[in-house]
Chain A
Amino acid sequence: MNKVLGITLGILTAMGGFVDIGDIVANSETGARFGLGLAWAVVVGVIGICVFAEMAGRVAAVSGRPVFDLVRERLGAKVGLVNLLASFFITFLTLTAEIGGIALALELASDVNYLLWIPVAGLAVWLVIWRVKFESMEQIFGLMGLVLVVMAVALWRLGPDWSDLAHQAAHPAVPHGEGHATYAFWAIALFGAAMTPYEVFFFSSGAVEEGWSRRDLMLNKANVFIGFPLGGVLSLTLMGLTAVVFQPAAVSVGSLSQSALPVSLAVGKLGLALVIIGFFAATFGAALETGLSCGYTISQYFGWPWGKRVRPREAARFHLLVLVALGVAVGVGLTAVDPIKVTEYSIVLSAAALPLTYLPILLVANDRDYMGESANRWLSNLLGSVFLVVLVVVAAVTIPLMIVTKAGS
């Protein structure tokens, strides 16, 4: 019975924890602009993250080491270093975006300018990382994020033309007035938002933090194959909401307040409160994950002690890294750079770096030295390889598209 509870909890946590500021921004903006015409990009992204997160979790459970830890020894120090630099930079950028997201959510609740919330957010994130137990941290924010299901209620209450929505999703087309390059750019943005690298670093390191072993392979599969797709459904629901409310009015979404508006209109004050809490939980949880991942990546490359499972004084450099990363992220946020813009860049640059961060996972998961009998079977390898080809193509076109479309405008 306990096992079922554990698995259920894991699924719920994964579902609630799936959405972050990148997903919120990308799904809101594309829904308003393209209706459900880019829903397929989210679906493909979710499949991708499932395939690779399952591998990353399996590697951690079987070998006792997170996947990033193994990149250096499997691919060599030089390649590992390039991987580290790209991964760290993107993770840090995402952290900055999430801190901004927390501040924006708090602003919605309080009407206190978000800039004042940024240092508060940074401090709160650090305090939770410093003191709260890893599993508790995951469960609290994962489950809190579940309140986002109010978005599904809102969509249903709006009474949209379901067959029309389904048609839009199933027959992707560039709407009148939008260019093909912009459409492709936003498809990549959604992709990057669904597959941000920190998710696999964190998932893999988290598995080690929680002491997963071979017995937890089932839990791994459940979290990934049920939790993540359900989280993806939440993202798509947000896309649907902005499609129904904003697209007919030719409104373009550029602020978090707009993302919450459909729920307010459909469900009222309670719904609005819930969706703001949901945005807060999503961004706070993601800030915890990206903050820790900033520490994980560097510590694991150099072999330093890392993680919350040892006392902070035993992993001094790791904790210093996290502290500094948070400090700099707060600093960047305080320059009043638009958090939505930072988010857009973080997801697009993530898309550009995906092959670099995902190829090592595929290689490590195939290595019988670490994995023994749990190494990839043909299906994981097939899916993984197909995705890698897709990721390379995506990465190749991302920067040119960004230039051509002026970052999607």
Chain B
Amino acid sequence: MSDPSAPPGRELLLALQLLDRQIVDRHGKLAGKVDDLEISLPSGGGPPVVTALLTGRGALADRLGGRLGRFAAALSRRLVAGDRERPGRVPVSRIADIGNHVTVALDADEMPTYAVEAAVRHGIVEHIPGSGVKGA
């Protein structure tokens, strides 16, 4: 079964062309990488379907596995508020385009992984003078 939100007729090799790709929000901001894929069995029967991209919150650590991976995943979930059990989830319906990177029809701050970036921003970086000035 092909991804329903991809342009019709395109087939993707998941491991090569979707996994570990950069996620970019609707404004072009960087928003993490595709750490893992959520694959579900449709209730009405049929082959497995990709239902969401998983990003952040220990998803990568879970995928890499091993003792270190499980430890890192648990640590990551402790640090970030939200649903303790589940990684950051971007439903497939929100994917706008898949090319060199994956564009999602969301703002970066709507994404579940934004929490850590926000925490660092508000907790630390914003307090340093000049953080709002473009340094490039």
Contact = CB atoms under 8 A, between A and B. Distances in A.
Interface of A: 63, 65, 69, 72-73, 76-78, 80-81, 129-134, 209, 302-314, 316-317, 319-320, 369-370
12 contacts: A73-B21, A73-B33, A77-B60, A129-B135, A134-B135, A303-B31, A303-B55, A309-B134, A310-B29, A311-B133, A320-B120, A369-B100
Which 7 residue pairs across A and B have the least CB separation, nearest first?
A: A303-B33, A309-B136, A316-B121, A316-B120, A316-B125, A308-B136, A303-B32
A-side binding surface: helix, strand, loop or mixed? helix
A246 B83 CA distance: 67
Contacts of A131: 130, 133, 135
B14 interface: no
A130 B30 contact: no
A304 B30 contact: yes
Nearest to A305: B30
A133 B135 contact: yes
Contacts of A320: 120, 124-125
Nearest to B124: A320
Given A73-B22, A305-B30, A313-B131, 12 more contacts: A73-B33, A77-B19, A77-B20, A130-B130, A303-B31, A305-B108, A311-B133, A311-B135, A312-B128, A312-B130, A313-B126, A320-B124
Contacts of B128: 130, 312
Interface size bucket, B side?
A: 20 to 34
A309 B132 CA distance: 12
A72 B33 contact: yes
B63 interface: yes
A129 B31 CA distance: 23
A63 B21 CA distance: 14
A311 B23 contact: no
Contact of A317 (B120, B132, B134): B120
A63 B133 CA distance: 27
Contacts of A317: 116-117, 120
A134 B136 CA distance: 5
A198 to B, nearest CB: 19
A311 B132 contact: yes
Contacts of B120: 316-317, 320
A302 B20 contact: no
B130 to A, nearest CB: 6
Contacts of A313: 121, 125-126, 131-132
A81 B29 CA distance: 23
Contacts of B135: 129-134, 308, 311-312
Given A134-B135, A313-B131, A370-B100, A303 B23 contact: yes
A306 B69 CA distance: 25
Contacts of B132: 311-313
A304 B128 CA distance: 20
A303 B30 contact: yes
Contact of A76 (B20, B32, B121): B20
A249 B22 CA distance: 58
A304 B117 contact: yes
A305 B117 contact: yes
A296 B13 CA distance: 28
Contacts of B20: 72-73, 76-77, 80
